[in-house]
Amino acid sequence: MAGSLAAEDLDRLIHERIRLGIVSALAANDSLSFADLKDVLRTTDGNLSVHARKLEEAGYIRVLKGFEDRKPRTEYRLTAKGRRALETYLAHMEQILSAAREALERS
């Protein structure tokens, strides 16, 4: 996935697989813990941390740190900006498919 898709307007920040997975998983839940996201995305701690930080810096997700049973717990939530970014990204994907469909109909 990602890389070859020729689309100038594509949000490169969430086009990357892990970051797209984080945003998609959070769009389906109010919040998810670091462990939940790691389970869903089948990735390593380091990889998830790096990509989550990029999304946090962009304001797409919010990170809540706390404790549960005296153990540190990190919780992630999608922000309104992040949800809008995913919606725009999905709309863009739809546009590409529509353009392909129209081209097929014309040919």
Partner 1 sequence: MSIPTHEEREEVKATLAFIRQTMESASSFTAISGWGLLGVGVLGLVASGVAARLEDPTTLRVWIPTAALAVVVAGVANAYKARRLDVPLWSGSFRKLVWVMAPVVVAGAVLTYALAGAGARALLPGLWLALYGAGVTAGGTLSVRAIRGMGLVLLAFGAAALLAPQWGSMLLAAGFGAIHLIFGILVLTRHGG
Interface residues with partner 1 (CB under 8 A)? 1-2, 4-6, 17, 20-21, 24-29, 32-33, 36, 39-42, 90, 93, 95-97, 99-100, 103
Contact 9/96 with Cβ under 8 angstroms? no
The least CB distance from residue 24 to partner 1, in Å, is 4
The least CB distance from residue 106 to partner 1, in Å, is 9
The least CB distance from residue 94 to partner 1, in Å, is 9
- Show the CA angle centred on residue 76, arms to residues 72 and 80, nearest 5°: 155
